């Protein structure tokens, strides 16, 4: 029983460490052939946005908005894939999915 408890504590520590690493890992997404780039953390928090001046047309702000949205979505999708890669095995070890992480 003691060994099982120690194993569970180790898994919990590993999970906490993996979550911390995700929070510190930048993940980039882009749209428009790199005209708009978004950076999120591995947990999906938007931390940066870069817009190439060539993407800015005062007559067509809708396209720019679409590019920003697409870049952010791309970055978030990459972050979710990173979460699955890093936390998936830990979640399975804990007997199922982790609430709030979408898997």
23 CB neighbour count, 10 Å cutoff:
12
Report residue 103's pLDDT band, with 50, 70 and 90 as the boundaries. Answer: very low
Reported as a single tens digit per residue, the pLDDT across 87-96 is: 877 666 555 5
- This model's pTM is above 0.85: no
pLDDT of residue 91: 63
Integer angstrom CA distances of residue 44 from 3, 4, 5, 19, 62: 35, 33, 32, 12, 24
Average pLDDT across the chain, whole number: 87
Contacts of 59 (CB under 8 A, 6+ apart): none
Reported as a single tens digit per residue, the pLDDT across 59-68 is: 999 999 999 9
């Amino acid at each position: 029983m003691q060994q099982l408890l120690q194993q569970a504590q180790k898994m919990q520590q590993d999970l906490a460490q993996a979550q911390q690493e995700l929070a510190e890992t930048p993940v980039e997404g882009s749209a428009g052939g790199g005209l708009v780039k978004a950076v999120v953390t591995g947990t999906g928090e938007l931390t940066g946005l870069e817009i190439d001046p060539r993407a800015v047309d005062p007559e067509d702000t809708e396209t720019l908005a679409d590019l920003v949205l697409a870049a952010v979505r791309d970055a978030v999708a990459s972050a979710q894939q990173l979460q699955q890669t890093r936390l998936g095995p830990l979640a399975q070890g804990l007997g199922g999915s982790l609430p709030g992480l979408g898997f």
